[in-house]
Amino acid sequence: MTSAGRPKLRADAERNRDQILAAARKVFALDGPDAPLETIARTAGVGIGTLYRRFPDRETLVRAVARETLAAVLTDLRAAAAEEPAAWDAIVRLLSRSLPRQAGAQLLLFSPRAREILQDDPETAGIQQELITQLDALVQAAQFEGTLRTDVTAGDIVYCYSLILRHPAAVPELAALAFERTATLMVDGLRAQPGSRLPGRPVTGEDLKYG
């Protein structure tokens, strides 16, 4: 068994699975989670029968994309926390290097259909909760350092992360430019310094759950 709890596949089967997931992230980002599975299979370079052998229905595929996306972000977060000299630097790194996660984040955060599919999935919820827990610890550490504004929560960081990823993907050069500029603006807004009081209430982990 693999660490994710699924049977270990042959090398060619594992390669097909990875190709299908990569294609699904791309197609879902452009057309949403109701995009034709035939389009995903064609983008992956496999037959529709191969797709159904790996993922018997749309819901299974959406859940797999969600889990792998959240797990990748969690890996990024852990690496940043372990390798950066301060919590603030780890948060900046997480925000400024998030562009490769665009497709999966769009699926997870901007699609009501995806949220409907994921709301009763305990594995996705478990990864999400671990992500929020570790990010919350990082936020508190940065606030203790005096580098992050005190009225910001982990939920606020998640929404910053997601908003950065909503760029015009159809124009790659503009996307990269917009990403860099927006990330810099958001980082400056998160920095502890005199400024405008945030309206409303903090975004909490409960707000981010799929249920």
The whole-number average pLDDT for the span 126-153 is 94
DSSP string, 133-201: HHHHHHHHHHHHHT-B-TT--HHHHHHHHHHHT-S-TTSHHHHHHHHHHHHHHHHHHHBSSS-PPPPS-
Q: Which of 102, 103, 84, 81 is nearest to 154 (CA)?
A: 81
- What residue spans in the chain does CATH classification 1.10.357.10 cover? 65-208
Kindly list the distances between the CA atom of residue 3 and the CA atoms of 7, 53, 153, in Å, as whole numbers in the listed order: 9, 21, 31
pLDDT at 104: 62
Residue 209, both tokens? 């759950």
Q: Is the pLDDT reported for residue 51 higher than 50?
A: yes
**Residue 110 pLDDT class (50, 70, 90 cuts):** low
Which comes out higher in pLDDT, residue 37 or 116?
37
Q: Does domain 1-56 have CATH number 3.40.309.10?
A: no
> Mean pLDDT lowest for which of 2-11, 54-63, 155-164?
2-11
Whether 173 shows a pLDDT value over 70: the answer reads: no
* CB of 117 closer than 8 Å to CB of 55: no
Report which of 18, 29, 201, 211 is spatially closest to residue 120, judged by C-alpha positions: 211
Mean pLDDT lowest for which of 11-25, 57-71, 96-110, 121-135?
96-110
Q: Find the mean pLDDT for residues 72-81.
A: 92
Query: Which carries the bigger pLDDT value, residue 178 or residue 83?
Result: 83
150 pLDDT band, cuts 50/70/90, is: very high
Where residue 102 falls among pLDDT bands split at 50, 70, 90? low
Q: 65-208 — its CATH code?
A: 1.10.357.10
User: What average pLDDT does range 97-103 have in this prediction?
Assistant: 60
